Structure 1
Amino acid sequence: MNPSFKFFLALIISIEISLKSSLLTNLLIIFFTIIYLIYKHIKVKNLLLTLLMPLIAAFTVFATLYWFAPQPNLQNALSLSSRIYVYTLTIYCVSIGTTATELARSFEQNFHLPSKFAYGVLAALNIVPRMKEAVKQIRTAGMMRGVYLSFWSPVLYFKAILVALNSAENLAQGMASHGYRESAKRSIIVPVPVQKSDWLKSIVILFLVNLALFTLK
């Protein structure tokens, strides 16, 4: 499916289950998203981590609404806490098999996102690994001088900000040297087409979700 369609499909489903409470619908979405992830050959370790990471947040919501509420309602508590798993799993379904580059290209081509935003997001994502490496180098250099820079040290982040500003300047110069112009029309190197099957799948999925929302409790 087209990356943009996957993203907006997950977004619309998340908004709809936020507006209407339906425990059975949440459970069905969770079930089918897990089936989809298994179909995509996700590692068992990653699947278990995905199910365990939202557990604290889901348990907190459940405990607050069921054990500490003036009028506890088990179904309502389960419905609201299960939403966290719906949000997590639907976003995971979007991210699996879709890179940030593909998503940015799809937004630019299919939904006319300005190229400066698309390339800006890609630049920010690609600079994250360099920033992690720069932080490690700064901490190592500090320890060689007998200065320990902790994780919350302001000096560490001040130096990291300086590295980020330098990297941003180098990136801007590199893009300009390769002929990037903000107002110029750009050619498409890797097309991301929208097919009829994308519309069909999206409509069918949204129809089934809405049908479940308004018929199941």
Structure 2
Amino acid sequence: MNPSLKFLLVFIISLEISIKNSLTTNILLILAALIFLLWQRIKIKDILLLIAVPFIAAFTIFATLYWFQTQPDHQYAWILSSRVYVYVLTIACVAKTTTATELARSLEQNLHLPSKFAYGVLAALNIIPRMKAAVKQIRTAAMMRGMYLSFWSPMLYFKAILVAISAADNLAQGMESHGYVEGRARSAIIKIPLTSKDWCLFILILFLVNVSLFCFK
């Protein structure tokens, strides 16, 4: 499916299950997401992490509504706690099948978002590894001078900001040298297609989810 449609589908489903309470729909979505992830050959270790990490949040919600209420409502507690897994697993389905570059290009080409937004997102994502390396280099250089810069040290972040400003200037110059002009139409080296098959699959999944929401509790 087209990356933009996958993003919109997950967003709409998350919004709908937040408005309409249906435990059965939540369980069906969780099972469908798990089956899809296994079909995409995700590692069992990653599946276990996707189940274990949200457990704290889901258990906290369940305990608050079931054990610490004057009138416990186990149905509502299960609904809200299961929503956590729906959010996490559906987002994991998108993240597993779509890279950040594909999503940014699709948002620009298919949803007609401004190119500066797409390029800004890509620049921010691509600069993260460079910033990590720069912070590590700054801490190593400080230790060679007998200084230890902790994680919360203001000097560490001040030096990192200077590196980020320098990187931003280099990035802007690089984009201009490659012919980028804000507000001008640009051709796409890699096109992200939006086919009728994508729309049919999008509408079908959304239809089945809505049928389940209004038919099951």
TM-score, with structure 2 as normaliser: 0.98
SS in 2 for 1:96: helix
1:127-206 counterparts in 2 under 5 A?
127-206=127-206
SS in 1 for 2:146: coil
TM-superposed CA distance for 1:97, in Å, is 2.0
Counterpart CA distance in 2 for 1:139 and 1:69 is 49
Count of residue pairs brought into register by the alignment: 217
TM-superposed CA distance for 1:123, in Å, is 0.2
Deviates more, 1:152-161 or 1:120-129: 152-161
Counterpart in 1 of 2:73?
A: 73
SS in 1 for 2:97: coil
**Cα shift readout 1:5-46 (whole Å, capped 9, x = no counterpart):** 000000000000000111111010000000000000001111
Give 5+ residue unaligned stretches, structure 2. none
SS in 2 for 1:30: helix
Counterpart in 1 of 2:87?
A: 87
Counterpart CA distance in 2 for 1:92 and 1:56 is 18
Counterpart CA distance in 1 for 2:138 and 2:65 is 46
Counterpart in 2 of 1:26?
A: 26
1:95-106 counterparts in 2 under 5 A?
95-106=95-106
Counterpart in 2 of 1:211?
A: 211
Partner amino acid for 1:184?
R
Counterpart CA distance in 2 for 1:23 and 1:183 is 47
Deviates more, 1:167-176 or 1:147-156: 147-156
Partner amino acid for 1:75?
Q
Counterpart CA distance in 2 for 1:69 and 1:121 is 43
Counterpart CA distance in 2 for 1:182 and 1:201 is 35
Give 5+ residue unaligned stretches, structure 1. none
Counterpart CA distance in 1 for 2:149 and 2:64 is 39
Counterpart in 2 of 1:10?
A: 10
SS in 2 for 1:148: coil
Tell me whether 1:46 sits opposite 2:46 in the alignment. Answer: yes
Counterpart CA distance in 1 for 2:95 and 2:162 is 31
**Cα shift readout 1:116-165 (whole Å, capped 9, x = no counterpart):** 00000000000011111111111111111111111111111111111111
Partner amino acid for 1:197?
K
**Cα shift readout 1:26-81 (whole Å, capped 9, x = no counterpart):** 01000000000000000111111111111111111111111112211111001001
Displaced runs of 4 or more, over 6 A: none
Counterpart in 1 of 2:107?
A: 107
Query: Percentage identity across aligned positions?
Result: 66
Partner amino acid for 1:160?
A
Counterpart CA distance in 2 for 1:119 and 1:27 is 38
Partner amino acid for 1:47?
I
Counterpart CA distance in 1 for 2:70 and 2:165 is 52
SS in 1 for 2:72: coil
Counterpart CA distance in 2 for 1:180 and 1:64 is 53
